[in-house]
Amino acid sequence: MAHTMLTTPSYKKQQIPALMTESANKPALECLLTRQQIQQRVSELGMEISRDFAGQTVVLVGVLKGAATFVADLARAITVDCTFDFLAVSSYGMAMHSNSVRLIKDVDQPVEDRNIILVEDILDTGRTLCCLKNVLLARQPATLKIAALLDKPERRLCQIQADYVGFTIPNRFVVGYGMDFAERYRNLPDICLMPEDASTDVWE
Ligand code: IMP
Ligand code: MG
């Protein structure tokens, strides 16, 4: 499957498991990408990275917490020698809008002279990855690539592109497969759309 551009009419309605709905009067989340579609695409990205870095070693640097699930699956889809590390930046908090980017946890291992792949769940405005790219480039890695499972190009404010993109999606807020809304829904195996009128108190 090639890198897929998703459009709104192709969304497939799917009830989320009873465990996640908690009560009958909460709206079910609409599924954007099923676990099967995600696994298929992640294994393709793993093969692409393995081809690009044949005979070399790569370090996956995941951005906590959203990219942790993607890192875990991507690492297992990569066949070349691969280690992983994590960093963390200030998050959205309880809202859907990005704050300024602040590094709150650095990587544990040195970056210099290594093949770094910065792994993100979503490339949205681009502020996070622009900032992290500059931070890591200053440490002189051998190569620096970016892998983003999802890309929302409509919202871009900084000039940045990922080298490996899972899916290009429309400008909607999504949850699941590591991604949250007010820290919830990270454990959904599928990627789902938040209702456009969702507010945090509706979900408490
Ligand atoms: P950017 O700096 O605007 O590109 O933001 C990227 C970060 O915002 C991602 O790592 C996510 O943590 C978060 N984010 C952006 N869009 C979504 C979304 O639709 N769902 C969940 N988190 C999102
Ligand atoms: Mg994130």
Separation of alpha carbons 13 and 10, rounded Å: 10
Specify if 195 maps to a domain: no
> What amino acid occupies position 20?
M
Instruction: Give distance in angstroms: CA of 51 to centre of ligand 2.
Output: 27
Q: Is 11 in the pocket of ligand 1 (CB under 6 A)?
A: no
Q: What pLDDT, in 10s, does the model give residues 150-188? A: 999 999 999 999 999 999 999 999 999 999 999 999 999
Specify if 92 maps to a domain: yes
Beta strand segments in 81-126, E: 81-89, 103-105, 115-123
Which residues, in sequence order, are CB contacts of 195 under 8 Å at separation 6+?
27, 29
CATH (domain of 143) = 3.40.50.2020
Question: Running DSSP on this structure, what letter comes out for residue 29?
Answer: P
Specify if 86 maps to a domain: yes
Specify if 183 maps to a domain: no
Instruction: Give distance in angstroms: CA of 55 to centre of ligand 2.
Output: 30
Whole-structure pTM value: 0.86
Q: What pLDDT, in 10s, does the model give residues 38-52? A: 999 999 999 999 999
Q: Is 127 in the pocket of ligand 1 (CB under 6 A)?
A: yes
The residue whose CA is least distant from atom 15 of ligand 1 is: 124
Question: Residue 124 catalytic?
Answer: yes
Instruction: Give distance in angstroms: CA of 54 to centre of ligand 1.
Output: 31
Domain enclosing residue 146, as ranges: 36-172
